[in-house]
């Protein structure tokens, strides 16, 4: 039975990562063909950085991903705190509304946003694509942060205020560190979704502004260049390194965070008595 479990897990991971491994290997292939190996080379990486069209698409892709993720994370933090403090019935209504953009097909969202931008007489381009990415990222950030708020000791904020902190200080020094894992998760999820998006970007962009997914879609009709294999390899390695750094940082912070939570729970037991004495 244990052998079958290990085999099943191995097959799942092989199915997920074998295509990526093949892509990485063939990014060093001398031949343009993905069927034959003709020797090791780095020329596709060199050609990649010489291709202005791909570099421009990469620039807009990263710029929109970073900006949309940061703005969506900021809005998501504020929205999550607001939703968390709602009463049960309004909270359920808002959460159901938050699920709609996630469950809605991308093509419907993309066309709807395009019609909205045209109705508002906005020229399709960088701004409209950025607004579209912020829009579809916010629900994912909210769903990443809300569980952390529910796990948090509800007396922490009141304890910080009783100890003399201002509301802003209580949020920055008490609430934000507690929900930081959810904030980081939401940001990374939004960043990844923005990098990966094609349908919504296709309907909300204009001439002169394209991201990588649109460029690769255009190449697919005449054959994918090995330069895309090199670009995908660099992006995969970069994201992998980022995830390793985040995981190491969070693993170091967890013992301190657990100790802080235990201290806050101990201190919160005395809050009613303090309030009564006051």
Q: What is the pLDDT of residue 259?
A: 60
Domain presence at residue 12: no
Rounded Cα distance between 65 and 159, Å, is 37
Domain presence at residue 115: yes
Least confident of 118-132, 156-170, 183-197: 156-170
CB count, 10 Å around CB of 150? 9
Banded model confidence at residue 31, pLDDT cuts 50, 70, 90? confident
- Domain of residue 172, CATH code: 1.10.3720.10
Q: What is the pLDDT of residue 141?
A: 95
> What is the pLDDT averaged over residues 148-167?
84
Query: Count of domains in the chain?
Result: 1
Domain presence at residue 102: yes
pLDDT single digits (tens) 76-124: 999 999 999 898 899 999 999 999 889 989 999 999 999 999 999 999 9
Domain presence at residue 61: yes
Q: What is the pLDDT of residue 61?
A: 93
Domain presence at residue 190: yes
Residue 1 confidence (pLDDT) above 80? no
Domain presence at residue 114: yes
Q: What six digits make up the tokens of 204?
A: 């909300």
Q: Which domain holds residue 194?
A: 42-277
User: Which DSSP string do the residues of 207-271 spell out, in sequence order?
Assistant: TT---HHHHHHHHHTT---HHHHHHHHHHHHHHHHHHHHHHHHHHHHHHHHHHHHHHHHHHHTTH
Domain presence at residue 10: no
Domain presence at residue 23: no
Q: What is the pLDDT of residue 260?
A: 57
Rounded Cα distance between 230 and 225, Å, is 9
> What is the pLDDT averaged over residues 30-49?
83
DSSP structural state of residue 173: I
The pTM for the full model equals: 0.81
Question: Are the C-beta atoms of 133 and 71 separated by less than 8 Å?
Answer: no
């Amino acid at each position: 039975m244990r052998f079958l479990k290990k085999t099943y897990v191995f097959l799942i991971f092989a199915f997920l990562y074998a295509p990526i491994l093949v892509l990485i290997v063939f990014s060093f292939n001398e031949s343009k063909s993905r069927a034959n190996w003709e020797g090791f080379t780095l020329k596709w990486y060199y050609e990649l950085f010489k291709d202005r069209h791909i570099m421009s698409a990469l620039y807009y892709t990263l710029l929109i991903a970073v900006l949309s993720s940061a703005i969506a994370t900021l809005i998501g933090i504020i929205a999550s705190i607001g939703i968390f403090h709602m009463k049960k019935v309004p909270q359920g209504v808002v959460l159901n509304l938050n699920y709609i953009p996630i469950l809605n097909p991308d093509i419907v969202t993309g066309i709807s946003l395009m019609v909205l931008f045209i109705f508002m007489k906005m020229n399709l381009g960088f701004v409209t694509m950025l607004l579209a990415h912020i829009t579809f990222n916010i629900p994912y950030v909210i769903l990443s942060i809300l569980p952390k708020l529910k796990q948090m000791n509800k007396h922490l904020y009141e304890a910080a205020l009783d100890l003399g902190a201002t509301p802003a200080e209580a949020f920055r020094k008490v609430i934000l560190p507690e929900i930081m894992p959810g904030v980081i998760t939401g940001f990374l999820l939004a960043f990844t979704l923005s990098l990966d998006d094609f349908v919504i970007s296709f309907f909300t962009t204009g001439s002169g502004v394209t991201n990588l997914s649109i460029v690769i879609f255009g190449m697919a009709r005449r054959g994918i260049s090995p330069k895309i294999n090199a670009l995908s390899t660099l992006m995969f390695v970069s994201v992998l390194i980022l995830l390793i750094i985040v995981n190491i940082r969070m693993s170091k912070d967890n013992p301190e965070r657990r100790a802080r939570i235990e201290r806050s729970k101990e201190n919160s037991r005395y809050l009613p008595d303090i309030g009564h004495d006051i």
